[in-house]
Amino acid sequence: MNVDRRREILLPEGAPDPGTFTQIVSAGDATGDGQADFFVTVGDALWVLTGYNGATVDRATRLSAASWANRDVVTVQDITGDGVTDLLYRTDETGRLLLRGGIKAASGGVDFASLATAAGSAGGGDTQYGASGWSSGAVPFILGTPDANGDSVPDIWAVQAGGSVRFHAGSRTALSGNDTEVVGAATWWKTRQAVG
Ligand SMILES: [Ca+2]
Ligand SMILES: [Ca+2]
């Protein structure tokens, strides 16, 4: 990648300093206005940047001020199949993947408040998506992608501590253990910045 050609994005007033971002994940168009949205972690906080038009972001909203230092956003897409964006994350406290269901906003798209807290989400709580073995020690790098195997459900790519890459076929409710090693163990992968 030629870093000289990276595009600069103008952030709105009140947005966190990009230098403090610990993670940024595209949520596609979660609000339904035709513009891309991004989820960002900044230390313990979770933010959403909405209305990216290629040069500027309209709004930066802090969804949560706590708990995100020990979490990684895996994917922000509709997993449950109701057409409303959901939030899938990894928590290092228990080494699990947890799914937070989004609730549709009156204006269309997702109501971000439903992704801010477990209690406010669809169903009133996060549900277990990956039962164990998902700590950052076991899986140093994890990435959710749009559907890759043709079943319309978003999928997950995971770089294991040993350097192999596994493809986990996504499910609407919880991972079924349908996973495949797609790249054998190679220390090379551990130093990559991206996969997918
Ligand atoms: Ca959904
Ligand atoms: Ca899939």
> What distance in angstroms lies between residue 71's CA and the mean position of ligand 2's atoms?
23
Q: For residue 189, is it within any domain?
A: no
Structural domain including 60 reads 3-136
Q: For residue 50, is it within any domain?
A: yes
Q: For residue 19, is it within any domain?
A: yes
Q: How confident is the model at residue 184, as a pLDDT? A: 83
Q: Which residues of the chain have pLDDT under 70?
A: 1-6, 186-196
> What distance in angstroms lies between residue 72's CA and the mean position of ligand 2's atoms?
20
Q: Phi-psi region for residue 162, left (φ > 0), alpha (ψ -120 to 50) or beta? A: alpha
Phi, psi of 116 (to 5 degrees): -80, -40
Q: For residue 46, is it within any domain?
A: yes
Sheet architecture: strand order including 165-168: 141-145, 155-159, 165-168, 179-183
User: Residues whose CB is under 5 A from ligand 1 (ion)?
Assistant: 78, 80, 82, 84, 86
Q: How confident is the model at residue 177, as a pLDDT? A: 87
Q: For residue 100, is it within any domain?
A: yes
Q: How confident is the model at residue 22, as a pLDDT? A: 95
> What distance in angstroms lies between residue 191's CA and the mean position of ligand 1's atoms?
33
Q: For residue 88, is it within any domain?
A: yes
Q: How confident is the model at residue 194, as a pLDDT? A: 58
Q: Among candidates 80, 102, 75, which has minimal Cα distance to 90? A: 75
Q: For residue 52, is it within any domain?
A: yes
Ligand in closest contact with the CA of 79: 1
- Apex CA 60: angle with CA 119 and CA 48, to 5°? 45
> What distance in angstroms lies between residue 61's CA and the mean position of ligand 2's atoms?
30
Q: How confident is the model at residue 92, as a pLDDT? A: 96
Q: For residue 108, is it within any domain?
A: yes
Domain count, the chain: 1
